[in-house]
Amino acid sequence: MLKSVLNTAKSYVGTQQGDAKHKDLIKKYNAVKPLPVGYPMKTTDDWCAAFVTVIGDLTKASKYIGRECGVQRFIAIFKNKGIWRGLAKPAPGDIVVFDWQK
């Protein structure tokens, strides 16, 4: 599964907000049922958590990582599932969260 996650994520390298691949990613996110917190994403929204949700769905990893549209909600899910590593050197396949405030 890890190889599938990495290959699928790599297929989005170079995607920029507003380009065709980004719009397709948002469309895939909005097709998730049930829609996380009932919020349909717009192409103008920050999309990092939507990316994680879509990659999880495409690779059947969502059952392990959850589905969300917000980073803080994902952190809560990871803590609840016991997979939150906190400050640690990331390894391939890890979901990295940046604290832009500090």
pTM of the model: 0.86
The tens digit of pLDDT for each residue in 47-78 reads 999 999 999 999 999 998 889 888 888 899 99
Write the secondary structure of the chain as one string of H (helix), E (strand) and C (coil): CHHHHHHHHHCCCCCCCCCHHHHHHHHHHHCCCCCHHHCCCCCCCCCHHHHHHHHHHHCCCHHHHCCCCCHHHHHHHHHHHCCCCCCCCCCCCCCCCCCCCC
Q: What percent of the chain has pLDDT over 90?
A: 61
Cα distance between residue 67 and residue 49, in whole Å = 8
